[in-house]
Chains A and B, each alone.
Chain A
Amino acid sequence: MATAPSSPPLIPTSKLLTQDFSGDHSPAAAHGCPHLKQMKKSSEILTNYQVLARYCLHYKSRHALGILPPRDRKRAKLEKQDSSSSTKSLPTPSCLTCDTTLGRIHACLQCVYVGCWKGEHVQNHCATTGHVISMEINRCTLYCSTCKDFVYDRDFENIYNGELLRNAEIVSMVQEPGLKRAHFIRWNAPNKEAALIRAGTRLKPCQGLRGLRNMGSTCFMNVILQCFIHNPLLRGYFLSDQHSSKRCEIKTECMGCEMDQLFTQFYSGVKSPYGPCSFLHTMWMSSSDLAGYAQQDAHEFFISALNQIHAKSPGAKLHHCGCIIHKTFAGVLQSDVTCLNCANVTSANDPILDISLDLRPTKRSKSGVNKIRGTHDNDGPNSLADCLDRYTHPEKLGTNEYNCSKCGKTGQEATKQLSMKVLPPVLSFQLKRFEHSMGASKIETKIKFPAQLDMTQYTTAARKLKKSKLAKMNGASENGSPSTPSSSSSSSSSSTNSSVEIIPTCVYNLFAVINHQGKMDTGHYTAFARHRGEWFSLDDHKVTLASQKEVLNSNAYMLFYVKQNLDYDF
């Protein structure tokens, strides 16, 4: 008779292991296998692992770091490259027996041997030498050849996480020199505090996920609230008690206190839907145009809520405000106007809290081929990338719009181009589906958006770099110098994007999506949000598990991305 299937493995509380307050409750699997335990007694295996992990991570980032595998001498001579030791090089991990670079490479943790799996060379090595533990070079996971399986051990995980962090810091330093970065220091509670925490807290299940009751066409508010709840920076701020309604001096009609209350409710462990009455009431008091039971635009509510929370924050300022809203959402948009006559560039910086993207067909295609309007959406943007390309594309100004201060010509022809000077930690997009002007119709075009977004190419810094690179290349060809040696970025036949390396702090991950179904003024808002690595569908009081595929296939109205690597504020 078959036994009942074992329960699914526990979801770890966080990838970066936090201090274990509730005692040793982890499943046996986190302690590796008996063979590993035996090996750990000799401390060398941990040091070896650290060295190997560091090497593997460095090798993975070799292009960003400018450390390339040693080229063979013949090719180096052809390319007149400086193959001397001034250019550091890192050997490619390959099997010592058959020299292959593919086929799952393992590195022995007990001696200097690297072998491949496919050719069974590493298995043979383990059999002949009796060495048992090896590390797979792609993910730095441990393999025990006696257990014939991958094993997981906390101490090794800690080492790996430390090396990951260190590598990320180095890559950022190389990619963005001059950008100050605080060294990450983990906080460990001293014994007294740890004891207090253990005694005074209880781990509750189902925290952070809760439905919201629709109190009469308030779905527009519910989706925005859900996006606030699942916003990592807002969550961190309010859960760490940085705006406590108990200590707040404003007390009544304070949006900060409302947010605090909201987080308290969502993390109370109560599963029944919550009715955000006081939040709604306070918003009505603060912005009269939102008052009333009519359906509102979620984006309008979003901006209004942000402004209200900012206004009520202690020490809120008009410029360079350090409130949680600005710290989270504020970016700077740079607008460069280039005079086509004298090439003089005037720049202006605008603070922004989000980016609104136009979805209408571009003017160029309208005047082009006869296309059946409405059925073919080939004219307009099809993806977030298209929208962003358009947003940052140089745009010609009307003949009477620009007067150049340098060359003094009035009504000069000029182009304007937008770029992101400062990227906010949380980047919010609104896809302008609603045209409140003539013939109010909703643009239903499906806009493709990624789970991970790289904003490097839209930044002012990257654009400057690209321009100077192009200028250099043009200058080089004019001087008749030999063909430029292949740069560290593998640009070959791929798109122009690859000419600028990805800056790690410009990479974002999607965490929330707002959808709208139905017609403009009627219709229903729903949201998707990512909670602990899983996606959930949030439809007022209904919270259900969803798949990332579902999320990415939905017709988004608003998108929320958070930086994968946070900058530090000095």
Chain B
Amino acid sequence: MSSLTNDQLRANLHRELVESGKRDQLLELLRARLFESGWRDDLKKHTKDTIYARDTPVSVDELIKEVSPHARATIPDKIKAELLTQISAFVEETL
């Protein structure tokens, strides 16, 4: 058994994450938590304001670029911690 490089290990983990359905599970968990905390509604409002403030139509990618920093910054720490715990547990199990 050859020793895997870090990159290979990461790629394998990613693949396992997707294939086992864990990623979908985590996404659902994240969605639910973000929703409960009101993050989604706040971000929706912020995004709408961003769109209306512009006079030219905006593409999806441009919008994502513009809104992402704010989105990332406003995620409650509690949620980050919870997701991290889940992900570490998954990594522990899989390795």
Q: Does A99 contact B (CB under 8 A)?
A: yes
A316 to B8, CA, bound (A): 67
Q: Which residues of A contact B38 (CB under 8 A)?
A: 549
Q: By the criterion CB–CB under 8 Å, are A101 and B18 in contact?
A: yes
A98 to B86, CA, bound (A): 27
A526 to B60, CA, bound (A): 39
Chain B window 21-51, contacts with chain A (Cβ cutoff 8 Å), 1 for yes, 0 for no: 1111100000010011010010000000000
Q: By the criterion CB–CB under 8 Å, are B61 and A148 in contact?
A: yes
13 more CB-based (< 8 A) A-B contacts, given A148-B59, A552-B36: A3-B55, A5-B55, A60-B24, A68-B19, A69-B19, A100-B14, A101-B17, A101-B19, A149-B59, A490-B22, A494-B25, A548-B35, A549-B41
Q: Which residues of B contact A150 (CB under 8 A)?
A: 59-60
Q: By the criterion CB–CB under 8 Å, are B19 and A490 in contact?
A: no
A274 to B42, CA, bound (A): 34
Chain B window 4-23, contacts with chain A (Cβ cutoff 8 Å), 1 for yes, 0 for no: 00000001001101111111
Report the minimum CB–CB distance from B9 to chain A (whole Å). 13
A150 to B64, CA, bound (A): 12
Chain A window 95-114, contacts with chain B (Cβ cutoff 8 Å), 1 for yes, 0 for no: 00001111000000000000
Contacting residues of chain A (107-159) with chain B, CB-CB under 8 angstroms: 147-150
Q: Which residues of A contact B17 (CB under 8 A)?
A: 101-102
Q: By the criterion CB–CB under 8 Å, are B93 and A100 in contact?
A: no
Q: By the criterion CB–CB under 8 Å, are A102 and B22 in contact?
A: no
Q: Which residues of A contact B53 (CB under 8 A)?
A: 5
Q: By the criterion CB–CB under 8 Å, are A2 and B60 in contact?
A: no
A101 to B36, CA, bound (A): 29
Q: By the criterion CB–CB under 8 Å, are A99 and B21 in contact?
A: no
Q: How many A-B residue contacts, CB cutoff 8 Å? A: 53
Q: Which residues of A contact B25 (CB under 8 A)?
A: 490, 494
Q: By the criterion CB–CB under 8 Å, are B89 and A493 in contact?
A: yes
A149 to B61, CA, bound (A): 7
Nearest CB in chain A to that of B15: its residue: A101
Q: Which residues of A contact B20 (CB under 8 A)?
A: 490
Q: What is the total number of residues of chain A having a CB less than 8 Å from a CB of chain B? A: 29
Report the minimum CB–CB distance from A152 to chain B (whole Å). 11
Q: Does A362 contact B (CB under 8 A)?
A: no
A99 to B15, CA, bound (A): 9
Q: Which residues of A contact B89 (CB under 8 A)?
A: 493
Q: By the criterion CB–CB under 8 Å, are A548 and B11 in contact?
A: no
Nearest CB in chain B to that of A74: its residue: B1
Chain B window 64-93, contacts with chain A (Cβ cutoff 8 Å), 1 for yes, 0 for no: 000000000000000000000000010001
Q: Which of A63, A102, A547 contacts B14 (CB 8 A)?
A: A102
Q: By the criterion CB–CB under 8 Å, are A102 and B18 in contact?
A: yes
Q: By the criterion CB–CB under 8 Å, are A101 and B52 in contact?
A: no
Q: Does A544 contact B (CB under 8 A)?
A: no
A62 to B20, CA, bound (A): 10
Q: By the criterion CB–CB under 8 Å, are B55 and A92 in contact?
A: no
Q: Which residues of A contact B41 (CB under 8 A)?
A: 547-549
Nearest CB in chain B to that of A92: its residue: B19
Name 12 interchain pairs, CB-CB below 8 A, sorted by A.
A5-B53, A6-B57, A94-B15, A100-B11, A101-B14, A101-B18, A147-B59, A148-B59, A148-B61, A547-B41, A548-B35, A549-B38
Q: By the criterion CB–CB under 8 Å, are A92 and B15 in contact?
A: yes
A246 to B63, CA, bound (A): 53
Nearest CB in chain A to that of B1: its residue: A74
Q: Does A492 contact B (CB under 8 A)?
A: yes
Chain A window 42-85, contacts with chain B (Cβ cutoff 8 Å), 1 for yes, 0 for no: 00000000000000000010110000110000000000000000
A414 to B15, CA, bound (A): 50
Q: Which of B15, B23, B60 contacts A149 (CB 8 A)?
A: B60
A439 to B34, CA, bound (A): 40
Q: Which residues of B contact A63 (CB under 8 A)?
A: 21
Q: Which 5 A-B pairs have the closest CB atoms?
A: A149-B59, A101-B18, A69-B19, A549-B38, A549-B41
A22 to B23, CA, bound (A): 44
Nearest CB in chain A to that of B59: its residue: A149
Q: Which residues of B contact A60 (CB under 8 A)?
A: 24
A6 to B61, CA, bound (A): 20
Q: Which residues of B contact A451 (CB under 8 A)?
A: 35
Q: Which residues of A contact B18 (CB under 8 A)?
A: 92, 101-102
A148 to B57, CA, bound (A): 12
Contacting residues of chain A (476-505) with chain B, CB-CB under 8 angstroms: 490, 492-494
A112 to B34, CA, bound (A): 37
